[in-house]
Each structure stands twice: as structure tokens, then as C-alpha cells.
Amino acid sequence: MATKKSPPYSITSTTDGGVSSSNKYVAEFDNLGRLLAVYKKDSVGDFKILDPTAAEWTAVSTARGSGFTVPSSSGETLLQYNQNKHRTIGEWESSVPIAPEYLTYHTEIKNKETNAAAITVGDTTESAREIIATPPRVRTPQEFASSGSPRYTSGKSALALAYPYDIDITQDHLQITRHLYNRDGSVNLSAPGDSNKLLGETRGVVILPMPKASESGGAEWGESKVDVLGIGAASVFKRGFDTIETAIKGPEEFKGGYTIPGLIEEATKVGAATAGAAAIVGARYASQAAGMLGITISQEDLITRATGKAINPNAELLFRGPVLRDFGFRFTMIARNDTEAKEIRKIVQFFKAGSTPKYENAAFLGSPDIFQLEYKPQTVLNKFKPMSLNKVTIDYAPDGYWAAYEDSHPVSIVMSLEFSEIVPVYDKDYATTDDTVGF
């Protein structure tokens, strides 16, 4: 979070909450200019963050002074706010807006101050520097706190990982759970509601920041072209298909209609002239006869050269089937300390291992693990069917040059994940009463 701090100043306009003109304060503003924190100079000369629930913080945050409307050195908080945000007097505001995350920010800074105070003065060991740089977790992922989570499940592959290591799960994030691929003897799990049967034993959970969320879906449609004889053939099929008796007897029942006279008759019924249908039949046989003499000419060319007309392709766009959706995500991970670096390496290995096939023997290979993705904690965005991880791309030098810490861990890592849903989305998947966009 980008912030900006004011110079030290005094409060002369109030004595509420123990405020004294001899006290020195520093106001900290976020990138929108809102008040984020107030620091007070202590007896040893250090500025320590004020408790935002205390009366002194309220008094300081609203202090304006008699000369707040003009630039001066009076140093009231409102003056500091206006000088930080505005350049001209005409734009100055009469109250200080408070950033909504000021309570959370206070907790974070207070934890850093507490950790720093625990370090012996002059201690420059690696462990001391790490404690100062890394505040303890305030909130941890729910999966980490539950005794029934994968972290506590026996088995070397049961993991619960997160980046950032201290990610706040009350904010939107992406949760990815890895499962064994489970067929359970089923030969068709494409139907709505059946896909969850594919999710076998949990192999771990990874919690990542909210990515760029997008989706695309639909169905596959394809162009279909048939001449008038093809329409006649389709009519013959439909006539037989519409009867229960034909459906039971099977394809043999259709043979009677698939004769040249039968096709011409059906073509005439759908609006084609008998002479036109007969001409196409003649052109087809003429093309085949010419081919036997080594002359290559299509029935379309024969018709056009003889009549100046083209065969009507009766083009339509026909439904071909469902489309399996693809999703791609990209995460930039920068380690702030050694603990987080190890967490990042575990996350990379988690996805790489889950996407690889399992070697069983010279005859068979086992399917890679599959993944269930969820936007958490609550979201109106799309849901996901179980997915395969088709490709894992790790860029260890995303800035175009190699940069690493002392232990060779890259300063920055970009991880790209490409998923595909294993089963299609159908209309029945939208039969839900929840307040989301559905699948």
C-alpha cells in the first residue's frame, strides 16, 4: 500500500483525549489522501502509532486549528491533509476522510512495533532482521485452523498452502483444491451433477490472491451444406424416425426410401422441381462416368457449365455439441522472507506434481490429479466444474534478467496455470436459486 506521511506537527486547537500542544504527531495518508494512521512521539523520541479506538486519536484526527484555510506552519491534522492532497486553497476541504482499513492497518503496524521491541538493541542477526521485517499472522486461512483440514491429514501429499503467507481470507481470493481423479467404474460422467463423482481423495489446498477473473462459454455450431437430394435423404430419415416402429426396427427400415425415385419424390415435396432434382442426379452420374475416362469435373461444374446455375447448398448453421471451457490464471509471487520463499516453492511443486501423469507400469499410466476451483469467501462470479491442469508455466526471471536472494530463490516468480473443465456445462446446471451468475 502506497502511503505518505506528514512532517511532525503539534495540535493547538484542543485538549480533548489528553492532547497537549507539547506533543508531536505525524499523520499518515493512503494513496487516495485518506487518513490511515496517526503516530505520537514518545519519551525517547520514537513515533509510535496511536490506538484508533482511543479518545486522543479521535481528537487528533479532527483537529483543524484557526488557520486551517490558509497554508501555514500551525500543523493541525486538517491542514496536513489538505496540504498533502490539494495544491490550491480553493480546493481545500473542511474535514479529514478516514480510510476504511485504518483499524486493520493499526493492527499490522502495532505487531511490527511489538516484534521490533522484542529485539535486543544492536542485534543484527538474520533471525532478528526477519522478525522485524515480518509481522506475525493476524488472520490465517480457515483451512489452516481446522483440525480436519488437509494440513492435519496424514499422507505426504496432504498440503495446505497460501500466498501471501499471511493472506487475509476475509478478502476475495481463489481457492484451488487438488483431488485424485476418480472414475469409480463409471463410463459416462458427463451428465449434470455427475462431475463431482470425479473428485477423489483431497491432495491439498492452495489459496491465492484474487486473479483477473473472466470466463467464456457457449456451444459448438458448424456449417452444413446439402443439395436438394440431401434434403430428400433427410426427409426420408425423418419420416421413418418419427415412428416408434421404425425406431425399434433400426436402419433397415430406411432402405426403402433411399432410392433415386424416392429421393427425387421427397425433394419435390420440400419445394424443389422434379427436373432440378433429376438434373443433379444426372450430373452426379456424369461426373462419375467422366472420372472413369480420366476426366476430372465435379457435378457442380457440370451443372453450372450446362445451365449457368449453381447448386443451392441450402446452407445452415447446425448445433454440433457442447464446448469445454478453458481458464487461464497468472500469479506474480515475490517472497518477503525465507518462510514465504519456501511456501512459494511448495506451491510451484504442488501444481507441477498435480499436473503430471502417474507411472504404474509398462502397460498403464494413471491419470494426473484434477482440480476444483472456487472464488472465496463469497462471490457472485462464475462457478467451476472439476478441471484438468493442462499446462504449468513458471517464469523465474519475469523482468528479463536473473535476480535472486542469497539462497538462490528468485526475487520474483510468475506462475501461469491453464485449466480445462473436464465435463460440459448444461442448462440444468443453472437450475439454482443462489445469487450468482452460475457456471
Averaged pLDDT score across all residues of the chain? 77
Q: What is the pLDDT of residue 374?
A: 92
Statement: residue 142 has pLDDT above 70: no
Q: Could you report the per-residue pLDDT of 344-391, keeping only the tens digit for each?
A: 999 999 999 999 999 989 899 999 999 999 998 878 899 999 999 999
Instruction: Between 317 and 272, name the one with better pLDDT.
Output: 317
Q: What is the pLDDT of residue 198?
A: 86
Domain boundary at 284, 314, 344, which?
314
Q: What is the pLDDT of residue 137?
A: 35
Q: Confirm whether 437 is domain-assigned.
A: no
For the segment 268-277, the average pLDDT, to the nearest whole number, is 58
| CA 188 – CA 180 distance, rounded (Å) | 18
Q: What is the pLDDT of residue 380?
A: 87
Pair (341, 426) in one structural domain: yes
Q: What is the pLDDT of residue 47?
A: 87
Domain boundary at 264, 291, 314, which?
314
**Bond prior to 377 in cis (omega within 30° of 0):** yes
Q: Confirm whether 121 is domain-assigned.
A: no
Report the range of poorest mean pLDDT among 105-109, 148-152, 222-226, 302-306.
148-152
Q: How confident is the model at residue 5 (pLDDT cuts 50, 70, 90)?
A: confident
Statement: residue 259 has pLDDT above 80: no
List the beta bridge partners of residue 416: 330, 393
Pair (303, 339) in one structural domain: no
Q: Confirm whether 136 is domain-assigned.
A: no
Pair (307, 337) in one structural domain: no
Q: Confirm whether 179 is domain-assigned.
A: yes
Q: Are 74 and 65 in contact (CB under 8 A)?
A: yes
Report the range of poorest mean pLDDT among 7-21, 33-47, 240-254, 397-411.
240-254
| CA 193 – CA 128 distance, rounded (Å) | 53
Pair (39, 97) in one structural domain: yes
For the segment 319-348, the average pLDDT, to the nearest whole number, is 92
The dihedral of CA 254, 259, 260, 264: what is its sign? negative
Q: What is the pTM of this model?
A: 0.57
Statement: residue 265 has pLDDT above 50: yes
Report phi then psi at 220, rounded to 5.
-90, 125
Q: What is the pLDDT of residue 267?
A: 60
Report phi then psi at 391, rounded to 5.
-155, 135
Pair (386, 250) in one structural domain: no
| CA 136 – CA 358 distance, rounded (Å) | 39
Q: How confident is the model at residue 243 (pLDDT cuts 50, 70, 90)?
A: low
**Bond prior to 164 in cis (omega within 30° of 0):** yes
| CA 404 – CA 410 distance, rounded (Å) | 4
Q: Confirm whether 84 is domain-assigned.
A: yes
Pair (394, 339) in one structural domain: yes
Pair (343, 196) in one structural domain: yes
For the segment 276-285, the average pLDDT, to the nearest whole number, is 71
pLDDT more than 90, % of the chain: 23
- Residue 233 CB neighbours (<10 A): 19
Instruction: List the grid coordinates of 151.
Output: 494440513
Report the range of poorest mean pLDDT among 166-170, 225-229, 341-345.
225-229
Statement: residue 66 has pLDDT above 90: no
Helix (H) / strand (E) containing 395: strand 387-395
Pair (203, 232) in one structural domain: no
Q: How far is CA 351 from CA 167, 204, 214, 230, in A?
A: 19, 10, 21, 51
Task: Select from 87, 106, 90 the least CA-distant residue to 98.
Answer: 106
Q: Are 63 and 11 in contact (CB under 8 A)?
A: yes
Instruction: Between 122 and 202, name the one with better pLDDT.
Output: 202
Strands 370-376 and 173-181: antiparallel
For the segment 397-426, the average pLDDT, to the nearest whole number, is 92
For the segment 316-337, the average pLDDT, to the nearest whole number, is 91
Pair (306, 349) in one structural domain: no
Q: Confirm whether 365 is domain-assigned.
A: yes
Q: What is the pLDDT of residue 140?
A: 41
Statement: residue 431 has pLDDT above 70: yes
Statement: residue 288 has pLDDT above 80: no
| CA 104 – CA 112 distance, rounded (Å) | 13
Statement: residue 26 has pLDDT above 70: yes
Statement: residue 340 has pLDDT above 50: yes
- Look up the domain containing 87 and give its range: 3-116
Statement: residue 297 has pLDDT above 60: yes
Q: What is the pLDDT of residue 156?
A: 41
Q: What is the pLDDT of residue 302?
A: 75
Q: Confirm whether 131 is domain-assigned.
A: no
| CA 52 – CA 391 distance, rounded (Å) | 48
Q: What's the structural domain count of the chain?
A: 3
Pair (213, 328) in one structural domain: yes
Q: What is the pLDDT of residue 208?
A: 94
Pair (425, 329) in one structural domain: yes
Q: Confirm whether 126 is domain-assigned.
A: no
Q: Could you report the per-residue pLDDT of 75-134, keeping only the tens digit for each?
A: 788 888 887 777 555 667 778 899 888 888 888 888 877 766 554 444 444 443 333 333
Q: What is the pLDDT of residue 349?
A: 94
Instruction: Between 63 and 293, name the one with better pLDDT.
Output: 63
Pair (103, 148) in one structural domain: no
